[in-house]
Amino acid sequence: MKAALAAALVLGTHLCSLASAAAQPDGLERGIIYVQPSYHYTSTLDLDLGVLRKDLDAIASAGFVNVGLRTSWGEVMSKWDGEAKKPSWNEANCAKLAAVAAECAKRKLRLIFNTHLRDTVPEGVEGAVLVNHTAPDSRGVVPRPYWHSTFIDHMVRDSYREPMVQFHTKFAQCLRASPTVPRFWKHAFESAYVFPQTMTNNQVAKTAPAANEKFRRWAQDTNADIGHWAQRWNESGFLHNFSQITIPHKTHHALSPAKFGDYWRFWLLGVLKQGKYGLSIGEIYGGLADGAGASYVPGLAFKHWKPKHFEDPELTDLTMAEVKEAFDLPINATALGYYVNDAPSLAQEPGAFHTYVLSVKAVAPPALPVIIWETGASTWNLTESQQATWAKLMMATSKAEGVAGFNWWQFIDWAPTQQPCTQSCGAPPCNTQCQKLHFGAHTLNGKPKAVWDVLKSPGTSSTE
């Protein structure tokens, strides 16, 4: 199926896929993101299948419907020959995906994939460098060597466009033997690095060369008079030709809402929606549809950053109509992510979370289901009781607002790769590496936290 046809179909005939999932007694479709203790972003499929089977039994018996699984581009496509336009596939990892899906099928569970396009890339793609780990985690596991991209503008990099589409096709093919299992592929808004981060011009030039070039092309296509842009962006003092245009970032363009607005027009509309300046969401869906073939209908969810980033007049001059257009993509669900990391932020709930949900519903297509792709609270800064309290608040708010489902991040804590994360760090800012290891519903030794009983579907047993 061609990408354009797939994009046209997905919002029409395929939205019914959400309703086909197992209904929950309280209306929430529960999911939990699965990791094992020695989990590393660069080798997410290094799973012990024996441990997986035991954990999936616990997940199914607790009434969950979905299991979240993270995968990376380079885990499935091991190499890319840019001249011949040919990939080399990691068939062992394709078989691992199929095996995980088969185990889920036995338990009537479905898989939601968080697809990473930056952490691990194929050998041979432009900008790929080999990274070797040397230090083991606290369980003695050393992550495998992996290829990492030095660029952060994947979606607009022409050399990445074809292999990325082929990757999605292969990914979907790996799951054909378990057609009832694939639920969603979730993608995130990759260009969010430009704010609120502070970057120097040199950093932007080194890590985002393709985005700079494409943004220049967008500007020239939109208005060929460089004087127009110099005046509009308040850059008359130094902007004299199109080769001097760079994407905006907080350091240099914090006071230029017009330039940030134009950047979002280029990226959200010109790239992700239209595919004119880079890989579109429709092309991603087309690759998935080609891979799934007649076996199943793939689902695609997309996670934008908070709408306020596109609506704040001090940051951007985007109109509400343009924001709504950017959220109206060929997808099956609008995905949200939301966390609570410390007691002060917990004290703002559920109001802050409720506001976020309402802000997304205000701009997302009304017919499109909203799912919470990731949510959680770290017990690095919070007590187990506070973590459980957040889960209760989140679920109550989700039900009240008609959110279709959510995934809790995550099933079990990770093994530390730095110093053991056993002590409290006090008031923020805290050790973020340690913080992210403690979002699990189980401790590192497998003991369930208080939140586990909160997360379970009503009517399931309160014992393991």
- pTM assigned to the model: 0.91
Q: Report whether pLDDT(190) > 90.
A: no
pLDDT of the residue at 464: 46
Least confident of 19-23, 120-124, 287-291: 19-23
Does some domain include residue 242?
no
DSSP symbols for 33-60: E---SS--GGGTT---HHHHHHHHHHHH
36-69 pLDDT, tens digit per residue, is 999 888 889 999 999 999 999 999 999 999 999 9
* For residues 370-395, average pLDDT: 93
List, for residues 396-436, the tens digit of each pLDDT value.
999 999 999 889 999 999 987 755 565 555 554 556 677 78
Query: 441 falls in which pLDDT band (50, 70, 90)?
Result: very high
pLDDT above 90 for 117: no
Q: How confident is the model at residue 170 (pLDDT cuts 50, 70, 90)?
A: very high
Selection from 88, 290, 273 nearest residue 169 by Cα: 290
Mean pLDDT of the 275-282 span = 96
Q: Average pLDDT for residues 174-190, to the nearest whole number?
A: 92
pLDDT in tens, 237-250: 889 999 999 888 77
The predicted model gives 161-168 an average pLDDT of 97
Model confidence band, residue 204 (pLDDT cutoffs 50, 70, 90): confident
pLDDT-above-90 percentage for the chain:
66
CATH of the domain at 34: 3.20.20.80
The closest alpha carbon to 268, from 281, 256, 257, belongs to 281
* Percent of the chain at pLDDT exceeding 70: 87
Whether pLDDT at 391 is above 50? yes
Please answer whether residues 299 and 184 qualify as being in contact, where contact means their C-beta atoms are separated by less than 8 angstroms: yes
Q: What is the pLDDT of residue 296?
A: 98
Residue 424 pLDDT: 54
Does residue 288 sit within a domain?
yes
For 301-341, the pLDDT digits (tens) are 998 888 888 888 888 899 999 999 999 999 999 999 999 88
Confirm whether 225 is domain-assigned: no
Which pLDDT score is estimated for 193? 53
Q: Is residue 166 within 8 Å of 77, Cβ to Cβ?
A: yes
Alpha carbon distances (Å) from 368 to 14, 183, 290: 11, 15, 23
pLDDT bracket for residue 6 (50, 70, 90): very low
376, part of any domain: yes
Domain count, the chain: 1
CA distance 322 to 328: 10
On whether residue 461 sits in a domain, the answer given is: no
CA–CA separation, 189 and 200 (whole Å): 21
User: Is residue 219 situated within a structural domain?
Assistant: no
What was the pLDDT predicted at 27?
A: 78
Cβ-based neighbours of 178, under 8 Å, separated by 6 or more = 98, 101, 102, 104, 105
Q: How far apart are CA 72 and CA 302, in angstroms?
A: 16
Report whether pLDDT(268) > 50. yes
| Structural domain boundaries enclosing 327 | 3-200+278-455
Buried b (16+ CB within 10 A) or exposed e, 317-328: bbeeebbebbbe
In a domain, 240, yes or no: no
Task: Give the mean pLDDT of 167-193.
Answer: 89
- Does residue 254 have a pLDDT over 90? no
Where are the extended beta strands (E) located within 82-212?
86-89, 110-116, 128-131, 146-149, 182-188
Mean pLDDT of the chain: 87
Domain-located, residue 233: no
* Phi/psi of residue 115, nearest 5 degrees: -95, 115
| Residue 422, pLDDT score | 56
Q: Assign 137 a pLDDT band (cuts: 50, 70, 90).
A: confident
- Section 332-351 average pLDDT: 91
122 in Cβ contact with 147 (< 8 Å): yes
Identify the weakest region by mean pLDDT among 88-92, 144-148, 184-188, 432-436. 432-436
